[in-house]
Amino acid sequence: QKEVEQDPGPLSVPEGAIVSLNCTYSNSAFQYFMWYRQYSRKGPELLMYTYSSGNKEDGRFTAQVDKSSKYISLFIRDSQPSDSATYLCATQTSGSRLTFGEGTQLTVNP
């Protein structure tokens, strides 16, 4: 079993839709949870991180962690074509190591 599981998609939505991206993780000891965005042929870019459970909002983006179900979510409101990218969830699994999900490829159609 992978430490972090993520549906690779692809996911295609119309402009303005609410997007929900999800991951599950295996170890209840994980404390930090991150979402990265990666455009084609670019390196990942940190969008948000959360510590432990709860929600964190930044503009149109909301990250949510449910430690009881080991579930991580990223919601994008009023999605735009510029949001089209691959979204990677990650957790800090031990010490310096981050473990990433496989990434979900999102396309927002104008």
Partner 1 sequence: GAGVSQSPSNKVTEKGKDVELRCDPISGHTALYWYRQSLGQGLEFLIYFQGNSAPDKSGLPSDRFSAERTGGSVSTLTIQRTQQEDSAVYLCASSPYFSKHYEQYFGPGTRLTVT
Residues near partner 1, by CB under 8 A: 6, 8, 32, 34, 36, 41-46, 49, 88, 90, 92, 95-103
Pairing of strands 11-14, 104-109: parallel
Residue (76 or 101) nearer to partner 1, CB: 101
Q: How far is the CB of 110 from partner 1 (least distance, A)?
A: 26
Q: Which two tokens stand for residue 38?
A: 């990666």
Q: What is the DSSP letter of 70?
A: T
Residue (33 or 79) nearer to partner 1, CB: 33
Angle at 39 between CA 84 and CA 93, to 5 degrees: 105
Residue (19 or 35) nearer to partner 1, CB: 35
Nearest in space to 106 (alpha carbons), one of 25, 28, 33, 21 = 21
Question: Within 13 A of 45's CA, how many CA atoms are on the CB side?
Answer: 10
Q: How far is the CB of 4 from partner 1 (least distance, A)?
A: 8
Q: How far is the CB of 32 from partner 1 (least distance, A)?
A: 4
Q: How far is the CB of 14 from partner 1 (least distance, A)?
A: 28
Residue (8 or 54) nearer to partner 1, CB: 8
What are the φ and ψ backbone dihedral angles of 53, each rounded to 5 degrees? -90, 165
